[in-house]
Amino acid sequence: MEKELSGVILVDKHGGVTSHDIVFKIRRLFGTKKVGHTGTLDPLATGILPVLVGRAAKAAEYLLSENKEYIAEIRLGIETDTEDITGNVLSTSENIPTKEQFFDACKCFVGKIEQVPPMYSALKVNGKKLVDLARQGITVERQGRTVEIFSIEPNVVNEGEGIYTLKVACSKGTYIRTLCADIGKKLGCGAAMSQLRRTKTGSFNIENAYTIEELENMTGEQRQELLIPTEELFMEAQRVVLPDFYARLFRSGCEIYQKKIKTSYPVSEFLRIYDKDGFFALGQVKEYPEGTAIKSIKLFKI
């Protein structure tokens, strides 16, 4: 059987296109419809977008951790309905804080914070995307959610005009647009994000990403050589190697009791499952009347 194309390609997304536009281009370049992405980037944003090709596309919903790093530009003295400069201006202010005031405000957002997702986002409420409702002029109540900002490093671009950059390390689900807007609210002058570049997601760095133009100028073989093994999406999970007999059972959908293979991982733990030929599945520990067992969550190789 011909080896099925599978793995992760790191794309350096350019501005002015959606993440779905990038998926469409990768489908064409790799000649497969089985393509997905992790961590949507707005059209304004650039930077690293891991794109999942072939069987790897089945991994997206099971990614364990997607801590991210960004470099954003923030403009003080302006509020928009999208929380970035692409939106309609709601208010402006000439009362621009000093650099020291801005830096002090940024410190207040380090740690676990509550964010209310913006209306202009792909988040769904009652089955409908917020952005679709926002474009109809509809605003709905959104539940705040806890995210974590690990660090913020502010730098001056133009203090007089209130333009700065923020280097942000954060947990998955963080809206950098909302972070900028919330900093502006705290300062009392308003703020909007004017640029955004994602430099890291999970264990993947922008230095290892390729632009669509670079990928288009490669041969098919060269592009395939860039595919990162699917297992690297789950490097935070523990590695379990199953003997041949149990590997066959696992592939057929049987749960493998931990006492049989002498493991003792806690319930709900995700595990990278290997056989003698390498990584082939993601498993999770489940509780059964007879004890704990490893259950197949996704098979990536048959």
DSSP 228: B
Q: Which two tokens stand for residue 197?
A: 């570049």
Q: What average pLDDT does range 116-132 have in this prediction? A: 77
- Same structural domain for residues 162 and 258? no
- Could you tell me if residue 1 is inside a domain? no
Give the number of other CB atoms < 10 A from CB of residue 205: 13
Q: Both 24 and 137 in a single domain? A: no
Do 26 and 92 lie in a common domain?
Answer: no
Type of residue numbered 117: P
**Tens of pLDDT, residues 102-112:** 999 999 999 99
Looking at the fold, whether 216 and 189 belong to one and the same domain comes out as no
**Structural domain containing residue 283:** 237-299
What would the mean pLDDT of 157-183 be, rounded to a whole number?
A: 96
Residue 63's pLDDT band, with cuts at 50, 70 and 90, is confident
Domain containing residue 197: CATH number: 3.30.2350.10
Distances from the Cα of 171 to the Cα of 9, 41, 175, 266, angstroms: 22, 15, 10, 24
Residues 129 and 197 reside in one and the same domain: yes
pLDDT band at 65 (very low <50, low <70, confident <90, very high): low
> 126 in a domain, yes or no?
yes
d(CA 286, CA 296): 10
Q: At 290, which amino acid appears? A: E
Q: Would the pLDDT of 25 be above 70?
A: yes
Section 249-263 average pLDDT: 96
Confidence of residue 221 (pLDDT cuts 50, 70, 90): very high
Do 150 and 215 sit in the same domain of this protein? no
Domain count within the chain: 3
Of 14-18, 55-59, 170-174, 201-205, give the lowest mean pLDDT range: 55-59
Rounded mean pLDDT, 163-192: 97
Q: What is the pLDDT of residue 39?
A: 80
Q: What does pTM read for this prediction?
A: 0.88
Contacts of 64 (CB under 8 A, 6+ apart): 234, 236, 237, 270
Both 40 and 108 in one domain: the answer is no
pLDDT (0 to 100) of residue 201: 93
Query: What's residue 2's pLDDT?
Result: 38
Dist. CA 184–CA 106, nearest whole Å: 10
Higher pLDDT, 274 or 127: 274
pLDDT at 208 over 70: yes
Q: Do residue 156 and residue 197 come from a single domain?
A: yes
Residue 169 lies in a domain: yes
Same domain, 38 and 87: no
Query: Is residue 262 classed exposed, middle or buried when 0-12, 13-18 and 19+ CB atoms within 10 A define those classes?
Result: exposed
CA angle 98, 179, 82 (to 5 degrees): 105
Contacts 24+ apart (CB under 8 A), 14-20: 14/46, 14/211, 14/212, 15/43, 15/44, 15/45, 15/46, 16/43, 17/43, 18/42, 18/43, 19/49
Residue 2, C-beta contacts closer than 8 angstroms, at least 6 positions apart:
none
Cα 212–chain centre separation: 19
Task: List the catalytic residues.
Answer: 42
With 80 as the cut, is the pLDDT of residue 294 above it? yes
Phi, psi dihedrals of residue 73, rounded to the nearest 5°: -105, 135
Which of 13-17, 61-65, 140-144, 221-225 is least confident?
Answer: 61-65
Name the domain boundary from 178, 201, 224.
201
d(CA 302, CA 257): 21
pLDDT tens-digit map of 69-83: 999 999 999 999 999
